[in-house]
Structure 1
Amino acid sequence: MSHALTPLPLTAETFAPFGDVIELRDSPDKIINQGMCGRHHDLAQMDFNGGRAGISLFDATPRAFPYHLDMVERHPLGSQAFLPLTPAPFLVIVAPDEDGTPGTPRAFLTAPHQGINFHINTWHGVLTPLHAPGLFAVVDRIGDGTNLEEYWFDDPYTVVAP
């Protein structure tokens, strides 16, 4: 039996229990580079338990609605930020932790140019672009230790188009 989820628009308020929405503020924190650049400063709470921050590029295959969700994962040793390199929206899936396992997932659809940062140990779906190319800069923990836990749902979810 599959459960249906409909993605909601991604907002900082609705995503706050799971992480940060990375987007331009209404106005920059400061103007730099001879007055030609607005700096929107410190937009995500990056957290690493040992190791160091690394920047990687992900080239993900686009998915489509309806999207079959049968697995989520989390990273107990570090946060993970996804910064799209195109303006196309992407699907973000998260789930609250309920005594070490994921609760009912929630789905969000980003607006163009929004990125996200999953807080440390947050259950989330895999990277899910909806359009090609699925190019993302990813900032996450590089280091020793097991920083990946997967959970497979007995009853999968289906994310339907909003």
Structure 2
Amino acid sequence: MSRQIVATPLTAAAFASFGDVIELSGDPDKIINQGQCGRYHDRALLEFTDGRAGISLFNANPRALPYVLDMVERHPEGSQAFIPMTHQPFLVIVAPDHDGVPGDPQAFLTKPGQAVNYHRGTWHGVLTPLHAPGLFAVVDLIGEGANLEEHWFDTPYEVVAG
């Protein structure tokens, strides 16, 4: 038996306690490149302990809704940003921390052009593109030591479209 989570549209306000929604909103902070480009400056808080920020490429297999959520993970030593390299939505799953274990998960569906940055220590689902190719640029901690904790749910959740 599984528990159901209804995925809702991703908004900055709904996601604020888990991280940053990276998207174009409002007017650009600056016009650059001979007036041909709007710069939307500093859209995510990158936070790392020992180590440095690195950019990696992930190519994940697409998934489908309903989606079975049986595990979440977190990175206690650094934030982690997922920036899609296609114009397709993806599924974002997060959970609050309750004394070292995840609370009830929440699910969001991005719209094309949105990316996310998970705050350091935020419980989240694995990368879940809904369309191929599942190509993402990922900005996260590059360094020594363990920066991954996993939590497996005794009873999985089923994520469905809202």
TM > 0.5? yes
Amino acid at match of 1:127: L
Q: Is it true that 1:98 corresponds to 2:108 in the alignment?
A: no
Aligned match of 2:5: 5
Amino acid at match of 2:16: A
Question: Counterparts of 2:25 and 2:107 in 1: how far apart (Å)?
Answer: 23
Q: 1:7-156, aligned counterparts within 5 Å?
A: 7-156=7-156
After the TM superposition, list the runs of 4 or more consecutive aligned residues in structure 1 that deviate by more than 2 angstroms: none
Question: Counterparts of 2:128 and 2:55 in 1: how far apart (Å)?
Answer: 19
Q: How many percent of aligned residue pairs carry the same amino acid?
A: 71
Q: Which whole-Å deviations, capped at 9, do the CAs of 1:67-97 have from their partners, x for residues lacking one? A: 0000000000000000001110000000000
Amino acid at match of 1:47: E
Question: Counterparts of 1:14 and 1:66 in 2: how far apart (Å)?
Answer: 21
Q: CA RMSD in A?
A: 0.5
Task: Please report the TM-score for the alignment, with normalisation by the length of structure 1.
Answer: 0.99
Structure 1 residue 161 displacement after superposition: 2.1
Is the Cα–Cα contact under 8 Å of residues 66 and 158 in structure 2 kept in the other structure? yes
What secondary structure sits across from 1:6 in the alignment? strand
Amino acid at match of 2:20: D
